Amino acid sequence: MTTVTTSRSDRRVSPVFLGILAVTAVTGWATWTGFAQQPGLAVFLFVTAAWVVSLCLHEYAHARTALHSGDITVGAKGYLTLNPMKYTHALLSIVLPVIFVIMGGIGLPGGAVFIERGRIRGRWRHSLVSAAGPLTNVLFAAVCTAPFWLHALDGVPSDFRYALAFLALLQVTAAILNFLPVPGLDGYGILEPWLSPGAKRQVEPFAPFGLLFVFALLWVPSINAVFFDLVDAILRGLGVGDWDTSSGYGLYRFW
Protein backbone atom coordinates (compact mmCIF):
# COMPACT_ATOMS: atom_id res chain seq x y z
CA MET A 1 0.00 0.00 0.00
CA THR A 2 1.42 3.40 -1.00
CA THR A 3 2.22 5.79 1.82
CA VAL A 4 0.86 9.30 1.36
CA THR A 5 1.58 12.21 3.64
CA THR A 6 -0.66 15.21 4.26
CA SER A 7 1.16 18.52 3.93
CA ARG A 8 0.12 21.89 5.30
CA SER A 9 -0.89 23.05 1.81
CA ASP A 10 -3.28 20.11 1.56
CA ARG A 11 -5.20 21.54 4.51
CA ARG A 12 -5.14 25.20 3.53
CA VAL A 13 -8.64 26.64 3.09
CA SER A 14 -9.37 27.20 -0.59
CA PRO A 15 -9.93 30.76 -1.93
CA VAL A 16 -13.02 29.33 -3.66
CA PHE A 17 -14.56 28.43 -0.32
CA LEU A 18 -13.53 31.78 1.18
CA GLY A 19 -15.25 33.49 -1.75
CA ILE A 20 -18.47 31.55 -1.13
CA LEU A 21 -18.21 32.42 2.55
CA ALA A 22 -17.78 36.09 1.65
CA VAL A 23 -20.91 35.99 -0.53
CA THR A 24 -22.79 34.44 2.40
CA ALA A 25 -21.63 37.19 4.75
CA VAL A 26 -22.35 40.10 2.38
CA THR A 27 -25.79 38.86 1.32
CA GLY A 28 -26.62 37.97 4.92
CA TRP A 29 -25.77 41.56 5.87
CA ALA A 30 -27.90 42.84 2.98
CA THR A 31 -30.81 40.67 4.15
CA TRP A 32 -30.43 41.82 7.75
CA THR A 33 -30.17 45.54 6.98
CA GLY A 34 -32.64 45.64 4.10
CA PHE A 35 -29.90 47.19 1.99
CA ALA A 36 -30.93 45.36 -1.19
CA GLN A 37 -33.63 46.94 -3.36
CA GLN A 38 -34.98 43.43 -3.96
CA PRO A 39 -35.12 41.58 -0.62
CA GLY A 40 -35.90 38.32 -2.39
CA LEU A 41 -32.69 38.50 -4.41
CA ALA A 42 -30.63 39.04 -1.26
CA VAL A 43 -32.39 36.11 0.45
CA PHE A 44 -31.84 33.93 -2.63
CA LEU A 45 -28.11 34.66 -2.72
CA PHE A 46 -27.72 34.34 1.06
CA VAL A 47 -29.53 31.01 1.35
CA THR A 48 -27.89 29.54 -1.76
CA ALA A 49 -24.38 30.56 -0.67
CA ALA A 50 -24.98 29.31 2.89
CA TRP A 51 -26.35 26.05 1.48
CA VAL A 52 -23.19 25.56 -0.61
CA VAL A 53 -21.10 26.30 2.49
CA SER A 54 -22.98 23.55 4.34
CA LEU A 55 -22.39 21.15 1.44
CA CYS A 56 -18.65 21.86 1.62
CA LEU A 57 -18.64 21.33 5.39
CA HIS A 58 -20.60 18.10 4.96
CA GLU A 59 -17.96 16.66 2.64
CA TYR A 60 -15.11 18.08 4.73
CA ALA A 61 -16.52 16.22 7.74
CA HIS A 62 -16.42 12.95 5.80
CA ALA A 63 -12.84 13.59 4.69
CA ARG A 64 -11.55 14.81 8.02
CA THR A 65 -13.03 11.84 9.86
CA ALA A 66 -11.56 9.50 7.24
CA LEU A 67 -8.15 11.11 7.70
CA HIS A 68 -8.20 10.44 11.44
CA SER A 69 -9.53 6.94 10.79
CA GLY A 70 -6.63 5.92 8.53
CA ASP A 71 -7.23 7.26 5.01
CA ILE A 72 -4.29 9.65 4.68
CA THR A 73 -4.92 10.10 0.93
CA VAL A 74 -7.75 12.62 1.41
CA GLY A 75 -5.32 15.52 1.82
CA ALA A 76 -3.56 14.96 -1.50
CA LYS A 77 -6.97 14.80 -3.20
CA GLY A 78 -7.80 18.30 -1.96
CA TYR A 79 -10.71 17.21 0.21
CA LEU A 80 -9.42 19.08 3.26
CA THR A 81 -9.35 22.48 1.51
CA LEU A 82 -13.17 22.86 1.44
CA ASN A 83 -12.88 23.49 -2.31
CA PRO A 84 -16.02 22.10 -4.00
CA MET A 85 -14.13 21.92 -7.30
CA LYS A 86 -12.01 19.11 -5.82
CA TYR A 87 -14.95 16.82 -5.24
CA THR A 88 -15.26 13.58 -7.17
CA HIS A 89 -18.69 14.56 -8.50
CA ALA A 90 -19.02 18.34 -8.45
CA LEU A 91 -22.27 18.06 -10.44
CA LEU A 92 -23.89 15.71 -7.91
CA SER A 93 -22.45 17.50 -4.91
CA ILE A 94 -23.07 21.16 -5.72
CA VAL A 95 -25.03 21.81 -8.92
CA LEU A 96 -27.86 19.30 -8.46
CA PRO A 97 -28.47 20.13 -4.77
CA VAL A 98 -28.74 23.82 -5.66
CA ILE A 99 -31.16 23.03 -8.51
CA PHE A 100 -33.30 20.94 -6.16
CA VAL A 101 -33.43 23.78 -3.65
CA ILE A 102 -34.62 26.14 -6.38
CA MET A 103 -37.16 23.65 -7.72
CA GLY A 104 -38.72 22.36 -4.55
CA GLY A 105 -37.02 23.42 -1.36
CA ILE A 106 -35.41 20.04 -0.72
CA GLY A 107 -31.90 19.66 0.68
CA LEU A 108 -30.69 16.99 -1.70
CA PRO A 109 -27.67 14.97 -0.53
CA GLY A 110 -24.94 14.22 -3.06
CA GLY A 111 -21.92 11.94 -3.18
CA ALA A 112 -18.64 13.80 -3.42
CA VAL A 113 -15.49 12.58 -1.72
CA PHE A 114 -13.93 9.21 -2.50
CA ILE A 115 -12.75 7.49 0.66
CA GLU A 116 -10.25 4.64 0.37
CA ARG A 117 -12.08 2.32 2.71
CA GLY A 118 -9.32 -0.28 2.56
CA ARG A 119 -7.13 2.01 4.65
CA ILE A 120 -9.70 2.20 7.46
CA ARG A 121 -9.78 -0.51 10.10
CA GLY A 122 -12.73 -1.20 12.36
CA ARG A 123 -16.46 -1.18 11.69
CA TRP A 124 -17.10 1.69 14.10
CA ARG A 125 -14.67 3.91 12.21
CA HIS A 126 -16.32 3.12 8.89
CA SER A 127 -19.72 3.99 10.35
CA LEU A 128 -18.40 7.21 11.86
CA VAL A 129 -16.92 8.33 8.52
CA SER A 130 -20.35 7.93 6.92
CA ALA A 131 -22.20 9.58 9.81
CA ALA A 132 -19.91 12.63 9.96
CA GLY A 133 -21.52 14.33 6.93
CA PRO A 134 -25.20 14.25 7.96
CA LEU A 135 -24.24 15.08 11.54
CA THR A 136 -22.82 18.30 10.10
CA ASN A 137 -26.26 19.06 8.64
CA VAL A 138 -27.78 18.42 12.06
CA LEU A 139 -25.31 20.87 13.63
CA PHE A 140 -25.98 23.43 10.89
CA ALA A 141 -29.74 23.10 11.50
CA ALA A 142 -29.19 23.63 15.23
CA VAL A 143 -27.23 26.83 14.53
CA CYS A 144 -29.86 28.16 12.10
CA THR A 145 -32.71 27.48 14.52
CA ALA A 146 -30.87 28.68 17.66
CA PRO A 147 -32.58 32.11 17.66
CA PHE A 148 -35.95 30.31 17.54
CA TRP A 149 -35.48 27.73 20.30
CA LEU A 150 -33.53 30.21 22.43
CA HIS A 151 -36.37 32.74 22.04
CA ALA A 152 -33.84 35.33 20.87
CA LEU A 153 -35.74 36.76 17.91
CA ASP A 154 -36.24 40.24 19.32
CA GLY A 155 -34.55 42.66 16.98
CA VAL A 156 -34.05 40.09 14.23
CA PRO A 157 -35.41 41.52 10.94
CA SER A 158 -38.27 39.46 9.52
CA ASP A 159 -36.56 38.76 6.17
CA PHE A 160 -33.47 37.42 7.91
CA ARG A 161 -35.64 35.34 10.22
CA TYR A 162 -37.49 33.81 7.26
CA ALA A 163 -34.21 33.14 5.44
CA LEU A 164 -32.84 31.31 8.50
CA ALA A 165 -36.03 29.27 8.76
CA PHE A 166 -35.84 28.18 5.12
CA LEU A 167 -32.13 27.39 5.45
CA ALA A 168 -32.94 25.29 8.51
CA LEU A 169 -35.58 23.42 6.50
CA LEU A 170 -32.94 22.56 3.90
CA GLN A 171 -30.58 21.25 6.58
CA VAL A 172 -33.30 19.11 8.19
CA THR A 173 -34.35 17.61 4.85
CA ALA A 174 -30.71 16.91 3.97
CA ALA A 175 -30.10 15.22 7.33
CA ILE A 176 -33.21 13.02 7.04
CA LEU A 177 -32.44 11.99 3.46
CA ASN A 178 -28.79 11.31 4.22
CA PHE A 179 -29.64 9.12 7.20
CA LEU A 180 -31.97 6.90 5.14
CA PRO A 181 -30.54 3.34 4.99
CA VAL A 182 -30.63 3.39 1.19
CA PRO A 183 -27.62 2.18 -0.84
CA GLY A 184 -25.59 5.13 -2.02
CA LEU A 185 -26.60 7.35 0.91
CA ASP A 186 -24.77 7.91 4.17
CA GLY A 187 -27.37 6.03 6.18
CA TYR A 188 -26.52 2.85 4.33
CA GLY A 189 -22.81 3.63 4.75
CA ILE A 190 -23.37 3.64 8.52
CA LEU A 191 -25.00 0.20 8.41
CA GLU A 192 -22.89 -1.44 5.71
CA PRO A 193 -19.90 -2.39 7.91
CA TRP A 194 -22.23 -4.46 10.07
CA LEU A 195 -23.79 -6.44 7.20
CA SER A 196 -22.69 -9.89 6.12
CA PRO A 197 -20.58 -10.19 2.95
CA GLY A 198 -23.50 -11.89 1.21
CA ALA A 199 -25.89 -9.06 2.02
CA LYS A 200 -23.36 -6.49 0.78
CA ARG A 201 -23.00 -8.33 -2.55
CA GLN A 202 -26.76 -8.42 -3.02
CA VAL A 203 -27.15 -4.70 -2.32
CA GLU A 204 -24.08 -3.45 -4.22
CA PRO A 205 -25.66 -3.37 -7.74
CA PHE A 206 -28.37 -0.99 -6.48
CA ALA A 207 -26.02 1.57 -4.91
CA PRO A 208 -25.71 3.82 -8.01
CA PHE A 209 -29.51 4.14 -8.16
CA GLY A 210 -30.27 4.78 -4.50
CA LEU A 211 -30.55 8.54 -4.80
CA LEU A 212 -32.73 8.25 -7.92
CA PHE A 213 -34.98 5.84 -6.03
CA VAL A 214 -35.42 8.30 -3.16
CA PHE A 215 -36.05 11.12 -5.63
CA ALA A 216 -38.73 9.06 -7.39
CA LEU A 217 -40.44 8.26 -4.07
CA LEU A 218 -40.60 11.94 -3.16
CA TRP A 219 -42.69 12.52 -6.28
CA VAL A 220 -45.38 10.21 -4.84
CA PRO A 221 -47.85 12.67 -3.21
CA SER A 222 -48.59 10.51 -0.14
CA ILE A 223 -44.88 9.88 0.58
CA ASN A 224 -44.02 13.51 -0.08
CA ALA A 225 -46.70 14.58 2.41
CA VAL A 226 -45.41 12.20 5.11
CA PHE A 227 -41.83 13.38 4.51
CA PHE A 228 -42.63 17.07 4.85
CA ASP A 229 -44.93 16.43 7.81
CA LEU A 230 -41.90 14.93 9.55
CA VAL A 231 -39.73 17.89 8.53
CA ASP A 232 -42.35 20.36 9.79
CA ALA A 233 -42.73 18.48 13.07
CA ILE A 234 -38.97 18.64 13.69
CA LEU A 235 -38.85 22.33 12.86
CA ARG A 236 -41.82 23.10 15.09
CA GLY A 237 -40.03 21.27 17.88
CA LEU A 238 -37.14 23.69 17.32
CA GLY A 239 -39.48 26.68 17.45
CA VAL A 240 -39.69 27.28 13.69
CA GLY A 241 -43.26 27.69 12.48
CA ASP A 242 -44.76 26.85 9.11
CA TRP A 243 -45.23 30.57 8.41
CA ASP A 244 -41.49 31.18 8.85
CA THR A 245 -40.43 28.46 6.43
CA SER A 246 -43.11 29.22 3.82
CA SER A 247 -42.29 32.93 3.97
CA GLY A 248 -38.61 32.13 3.57
CA TYR A 249 -39.32 29.93 0.56
CA GLY A 250 -41.52 32.66 -0.92
CA LEU A 251 -38.74 35.22 -0.57
CA TYR A 252 -36.20 32.75 -1.95
CA ARG A 253 -38.22 32.26 -5.14
CA PHE A 254 -38.19 36.02 -5.79
CA TRP A 255 -38.85 35.62 -9.49
Active-site residue numbers? 59
Integer Cα distance of 12 and 61 in angstroms: 15
Handedness of CA 123, 127, 128, 130 (dihedral sign): positive
One-letter identity of residue 212: L
The secondary structure of the chain in percent helix, strand, coil, rounded to multiples of 5, reads 75, 0, 25
Please spell the DSSP secondary structure of 75-140, one letter per residue.
TTTTGGGT-GGGSTTHIIIIIHHHHHHHHH------------GGG--SHHHHHHHHHHHHHHHHHH
